[in-house]
Amino acid sequence: MKIAMIGAGYVGLVSGTCLADTGNEVTCVDINQDRIERLEQGQVPIYEPGLAELVVRNAALGRLHFTIDTAEAVRSAQLVFLAVGTPSNEDGSADLSYLWQAVEKIAPHLRTDAVVVVKSTAPVGTNQEISNRLRKLTGRECDVASNPEFLKEGAAINDFQYPDRIVVGVRTPAAEDKLRELYAPYLRTDKPFLTMTPESAELTKYVANALLSTKISFINEMANLCERLKGDINDVRRGIGHDRRIGFQFLFPGVGYGGSCFPKDVRALADMARKVGLEPRMLDAVDTVNNHQKFVLLAKLKQQFSDKLQGLTIAIWGLAFKPRTDDIREAPALVLIDQLLAAGCKVQVHDPEALKNVQALYGDKLLYATSPLDALEGADALCINTEWGDFRNPDFDEMKRRLRLPIIFDGRNLYEPETMREYGFVYHSIGRVPVK
């Protein structure tokens, strides 16, 4: 099939590249000319394992193209995907301005049989509004489907190629047939192709992310309770995770979730509830618990140092909101950095992929270390914010030598308290009794 992917950001680039890899001819469109030029040269502007290789291969085979010319991409496309950003407004609602701009740009060039497919995460009713706007702009009915994405940063290629399910919201059999044909190569292991109304599809994305966010906020709140009652959250997690009704997924305590999806989708779903007269108490609580959790390492630091942080040097391992990505949007590490700088600390940071993004944000306010051990040099304590594999089996003797004080604040529970005791560290983790 010939496909136009409007938006060459994270979702658009991953989706477009994977669709090209199954033999479709895909043209990715973006208003950022620098991004398009870099992609044409084989330079992928985001870090996602395996993506660069797929981009280069499919571009070389002539199946993947990049342009800033919307008309060129849309004119011959059977499917036109909208994969532009829908960031949060200050009130938590979704900002749809990029989506409306994309609709206006594609309208004059749509084939009469083209299906517009909304890949962007957008509130319930957006699909209908796009249909209304396209009717006014083209003078005819246009087929608009909703096809939410369920990609995890750091594992997006695998998620796209081996999905748990495909969800499509359609109003016509023609749209369903085209999307079923498109996704057939990914459903050979009998994974379900779920058809529903566009409104249900729009809700499915938000509800899925809200439930996963709820599990994270819940286990974090229970972890804080475990600390107060001298329990061990890892024991409790195992105790409940083996219940098949609960499972282990997303029950890992830490310093809160971040990224481009969970925070904004929880807030947007809460905003949708308020607009129809419902009070989203659970959603508000999930967001509140998560925001509070981002300050948990700072609270432990203040307690350890008797609230006297000024003049301390603090090392931070992990800046991305999760491993296997360079994405720092709403990352807990940034909250900690801001608080440490405000308290008068010197901050030394390391991350395998996100250093450039953080440096663009903070400039010379931080010291940027190219290795984990270099970040520890002369530091009064280490704070771990992201569970990169690089941090799981360090040289603890060398860590003690580099640190001025052998103190670790582990926001991801990477190490066993008994191991830390044997090496002589003061060790604070999440939901477990500290090692003094």
286-310, pLDDT tens digit by residue?
A: 999 999 999 999 999 999 999 999 9
Question: Over the range 232-256, which residues count as b (16 or more CB within 10 Å of their CB) and which as e?
Answer: bbbebbeeeeeeeeeeeeebbbbbb
Residue 170 included in any domain? yes
Query: Can you tell me the distance from the alpha carbon of 184 to that of 194, in angstroms, rounded to the nearest whole number?
Result: 12
Q: Kindly report the backbone phi and psi dihedral angles of residue 408, in degrees, each rounded to the nearest multiple of 5, phi listed first.
A: -125, 135
pLDDT at 334: 98
The rounded average pLDDT for each run of 10 residues, N- to C-terminus, in the chain (436 residues) is 97 98 98 96 94 97 98 97 95 96 98 97 97 98 97 96 97 98 94 98 98 97 96 96 95 95 96 96 97 98 97 98 96 98 98 98 98 98 97 97 98 97 98 96
Residue 270 sits at φ, ψ, to 5 deg, of -65, -40
Tokens of 288: 């509140």
Among 292, 324, 345, the domain boundary falls at 292
Report how far residue 298's alpha carbon sits from residue 314's, in angstroms, rounded to the nearest whole number.
11
User: Could you tell me which residues come within 8 angstroms of residue 351 by beta carbon, excluding any fewer than 6 positions away?
Assistant: 317, 318, 319, 320, 326, 333, 358, 386, 388
If asked whether residues 39 and 187 sit together in one domain, one would say yes
Parallel, antiparallel, or unpaired: how do β-strands 313-317 and 193-196 relate?
Answer: unpaired
Boundary (domain end) residue, out of 267, 292, 317? 292
Distance of CA 92 to the CA centre of its chain: 17
Q: Are residues 355 and 213 in the same domain?
A: no
Residue 436 located in a structural domain = no
* Residue 290: predicted pLDDT: 97
| pTM for this prediction | 0.93
212 in a labelled binding site = no
In a domain, 73, yes or no: yes
**What value, to the nearest 5°, has the Cα angle with vertex 326 and ends 320 and 329?**
60
SS3 158: helix
**Same structural domain, 120 and 156:** yes
Name the nearest CA neighbour of 130 among 110, 154, 150, 155.
110
Residue 434 is assigned to a structural domain of this protein: no
| 178 annotated ligand binder | no
- Is 322 annotated in a binding site? The answer is yes
Tell me: is residue 361 an annotated ligand-binding position.
no
Give pLDDT, residue 273: 97
The verdict on 281 and 327 lying in the same domain is no
What is the structure's pLDDT at 130? Answer: 98
125 assigned to a ligand binding site: no
- Residue 186 and residue 259 share a domain: no
For residue 281, being part of any structural domain is answered with yes
Q: Is residue 287 domain-resident? A: yes
pLDDT of residue 50: 96
Within a domain: residue 266? yes
Domain check: are 49 and 176 in the same one? Answer: yes
Pair (69, 156) in one structural domain: yes
Choose the final residue of a domain: 164, 195, 226: 195
Q: Which residues are catalytic?
A: 261
Q: Is 252 annotated as a binding residue?
A: yes
CA distances to 35, 44, 89, 316 from 257, rounded to whole Å, are 28, 25, 19, 17
| CATH number of the domain encompassing residue 45 | 3.40.50.720
Same domain, yes or no, for 55 and 27?
A: yes
329 assigned binding-site residue: yes
**Domain residues for 403?**
294-428
Q: What pLDDT, on the 0 to 100 scale, is given for residue 246? A: 96
Q: Coil, strand, or helix at residue 238?
A: helix
205 is in an annotated binding site: yes
Same domain assignment for residues 20 and 138: yes
Residues 64 and 104 in one domain: yes
Same domain, 217 and 180: no
Q: Is residue 191 part of a domain?
A: yes
CB-based contact 366:338 (threshold 8 Å): no
Q: Is 312 helix (H, G, I), strand (E, B) or coil?
A: coil
Residues 306 and 267 in one domain: no
Q: Is residue 230 annotated as involved in ligand binding? A: no
CATH number of the structural domain spanning residue 226 = 1.10.1040.10
- pLDDT per residue as tens digits for the range 317-376: 999 999 999 999 999 999 999 999 999 999 999 999 999 999 999 999 999 999 999 999
* Site of tokens 């998620």: 159
Q: Do the annotations mark residue 23 as ligand-binding?
A: no
Whole-number Å distance between alpha carbons of 235 and 177: 49
30 is in an annotated binding site: yes
Phi-psi label, residue 256: left if phi above 0, alpha if psi -120 to 50, beta otherwise: left
Task: Tally the domains of the chain.
Answer: 3
- Confidence at residue 351, expressed as pLDDT on a 0 to 100 scale: 98
Is 218 labelled as part of a ligand binding site?
A: no
